[in-house]
Amino acid sequence: MGEVVNRAPQRWSGRDDGPGPEHLRWHHVVSGDGSADIAFVGFRSDEGVRRNKGRQGAADGPRALREALGSMALPAPLEAVDVGDVEVVGNALEEGQQQLGEVLTKLIDDGRLVVVFGGGHEIAYGSYLGIAGSERVRSGAKLGVLNLDAHFDLRADATPSSGTPFRQMAEQERERGADLHYAVLGISQPSNTRTLFDTADELGVSYLLDEDCGPANRDAVDEFVDRFLAGCDVVYLTIDLDVLPAAVAPGVSAPAAYGVPLETIQHVCDRVAASGKLALCDVAELNPELDVDNRTARTAARLLHRITTKHTR
């Protein structure tokens, strides 16, 4: 049994060096209501990771992300709103994803860039429901889903989990007579079975292996991202933190033995944010219980800081 709880936003806090725009940090600009350039939502869920037999603890990710982001200094004034958390209690994952989708659709239709703090990667299906239900996509805009991840998450399990969201998206798109425009950067070959690679090929998924994403492969990375962006009008970017090397992101359910350098991931995020097509971004798999010196939370917050400030500029 389980339920979905909508939790009100908490007051952001952080370092304060004084008044004025020259001292501006995130906690100064986040409010609980009103108009804003950016909207934050939390998705507190471990149920998908539990079903996928992973290490639980990501439900506390939204709290850690807010704390890590709160004291980061802003290069210029902006306005942000935090609408609180959708929390999955017990096994009510499907209901939680549906609720998250409804919250996101409204925020996206308001014209804001929406950022979702996870939570396990089951967040992705809820995020998809939100953007697929948006007015732009329902009116014919082509949706593109870019996943920065060591895993395809295309499992064919009957029970949805953190390992199934993109298979669920593909099936949903097929029901409405379309193909899912899905690309993954950072795939770890040892972490994905041959079946998953075959499924990706059958669904027309574009992917780039982690070993092909180093600094020497910058041209190939740019070509991959630009090809993806050219094939869609609206972008949903999802960042599974296990795409990063374990030394950079130890606080995840499945730390990477190899991983994609942070420099590359940041470069990809910059490129997507500057495209003018980004409508929705989420971060998944931050597990504060497994983190070291808040390293993973700070890295995730830094990426979101870059995406949001570049997008608003």
pLDDT score of 1: 63
pLDDT tens profile 187-208:
999 999 999 999 999 999 999 9
pLDDT tens profile 245-301:
999 999 999 999 999 999 999 999 999 999 999 999 999 999 999 999 999 999 999
**Is it the case that residue 7 has pLDDT exceeding 90?**
no
Residue 212 annotated in ligand binding: no
More confident residue, 106 or 7: 106
Residue 240 annotated in ligand binding: yes
Which residues lie across from 82 on neighbouring strands? 40
Which residues are CB-contacts of 60 (< 8 A; sequence separation ≥ 6)? 44, 287, 288, 289
Q: Map residue 190 onto helix, strand or coil.
A: helix
Residue 151 annotated in ligand binding: yes
Residue type, 47: E
How far apart are alpha carbons 8 and 278 in whole angstroms?
Answer: 26
Residue 311 annotated in ligand binding: no
Residue 267 annotated in ligand binding: no
Question: Could you tell me the CA-to-CA distances from 232 to 20, 111, 138, 291, 307 in Å, in that order?
Answer: 40, 18, 14, 35, 19
Residue 198 burial (CB count, 10 A): 11
pLDDT score of 20: 85
Residue range 230-253: mean pLDDT, rounded? 98
**Is it the case that residue 242 has pLDDT exceeding 90?**
yes
pLDDT score of 145: 98
**Is it the case that residue 174 has pLDDT exceeding 80?**
yes
Environment class of residue 131 by beta-carbon count within 10 Å: exposed (0-12), middle (13-18) or buried (19+)?
Answer: buried
Kindly indicate the confidence band of residue 60, based on its pLDDT and cuts at 50, 70 and 90.
very high
Sequential DSSP letters for 18-78: -SSGGG-BHHHHEESSS--SEEEEEEE--HHHHHTT----GGGHHHHHHHHHHTPBPSS--
Pairing verdict, β 113-118 and 278-284: parallel
Residue 181 annotated in ligand binding: no
Which residues are CB-contacts of 66 (< 8 A; sequence separation ≥ 6)? 10, 12, 40, 42, 82, 117
Sequential DSSP letters for 99-113: HHHHHHHHHHHTT-E
Token pair, residue 277, equals: 């097509």
Q: For residues 306 and 273, is the Cβ–Cβ distance under 8 A?
A: yes
Residue 143 burial (CB count, 10 A): 23
pLDDT tens profile 115-151:
999 989 999 999 999 999 999 999 999 999 999 999 9
How far apart are alpha carbons 88 and 108 in whole angstroms?
Answer: 22
pLDDT score of 8: 80
